[in-house]
Structure 1
Amino acid sequence: MERRAPVDLVLVEFTGNRFDGRILTELERLDAEGTIDVLDALLVSRDGDGSIEWLEASTVDNRLAALVGEPAGILSAEDAEAVAEELQPDTAIGMLVFQHTWAATLAAAVGGVGGRVLDWERVPAAAITELARN
């Protein structure tokens, strides 16, 4: 039986060129610990002159390419174009698709006692923050 885990798409916006490796270091740590498995990644950027470029993980950075391995093909040119439409000049958006590997082991444990995960929903962080204030 194949273990399944939730998959998320995360979009992160950067103004200017502020990449210094800290994000990749954290992604590598999460991957090494078995917390996540990076399935796909794209970087979409708009230069100050308005020109748009999008890059797959393998061409952005060797470390990111190693994390993604063979891209799953989840992200496409259409995804990059949709994000690029809203992108301000001198800004980039990183698109990251990852699987919650840790959740697969939890689902396996549930299945091991005859149960099954019926649903998995994300509660936005802002909603939790708002509830904590009340």
Structure 2
Amino acid sequence: MEGKGPVDLVLVEFSGGRFDGGILAELETLVEAGTITVLDALLVSRGGDGSVEWAEAAGADERLAALVGEPAGLLAAEDAEAVAEELQPGTAIGMLVFEHTWAGALAASVQSRGGRLVDWERVPAAALTALAAT
């Protein structure tokens, strides 16, 4: 994956089992700016009666389907089932896999100048907040 950026899996839980389409506007902005590339998405919900439904991007929302394009196949039924086991009734989870496109451009620049990316670690925001509080 030389020249590619790091890839993240993000899980976002929604109470009431509803996904807010307003989030798609922010994702569209990030994609259009070249900041991220959405690779895959699944939406999983558990109804008040305990029933579970899940959908890939193409079956969930046409705007989300447009962002994902051809799914990378990184998320599958097994992922939806695993997440569904933890869902409380009346909740939903959006699973999103995306590449940090901006970082891929940086890595390519480093490599084209003879450099080598040695390590890249994520520091969670909660850890930074805790450090700042001390």
Verify: 1:120 aligned to 2:120, yes or no.
yes
- Deviations along 1:49-99, one digit per CA (max 9) or x if unpaired, are 000011000011100000000100000111111100000001000000000
2:42 corresponding residue in structure 1: 42
Q: How far apart are residue 101 of structure 1 and its match?
A: 0.1
Unpaired stretches in structure 2, ≥5 consecutive residues: none
How much does 1:119 deviate? 1.8
TM-aligned CA deviation for residue 112 of structure 1: 2.0
3-state SS in 1 of match to 2:102: helix
Q: Relative to 1, partners in 2 of residues 1:31 and 1:124: Cα closer, same or farther, differing over 3 Å?
A: same
Shift, 1:19, TM fit: 3.2
Structure 2 counterpart of 1:30: 30
Aligned 1:1-134 pairs, distance under 5 A: 2-134=2-134
**Alignment RMSD:** 1.3
Query: Post-superposition, which runs of at least 4 consecutive aligned residues in structure 1 deviate over 6 A?
Result: none
Q: Residue 4 of structure 1 aligns to a residue in which SS?
A: coil
Structure 1 residues 18 and 55: CA distance shift in structure 2, 3 A: closer
Question: What's the secondary structure of 1:44's corresponding residue?
Answer: strand
- The alignment-based identity, stated in percent, is 74
Gaps of 5+ in 1: none
Q: Summarize deviations over 1:30-59 as a string: whole Å, max 9, x none.
A: 000000000000001000000001100001
Contact 2:17 2:46 in 1 (8 A): no
Number of aligned positions between the proteins: 134
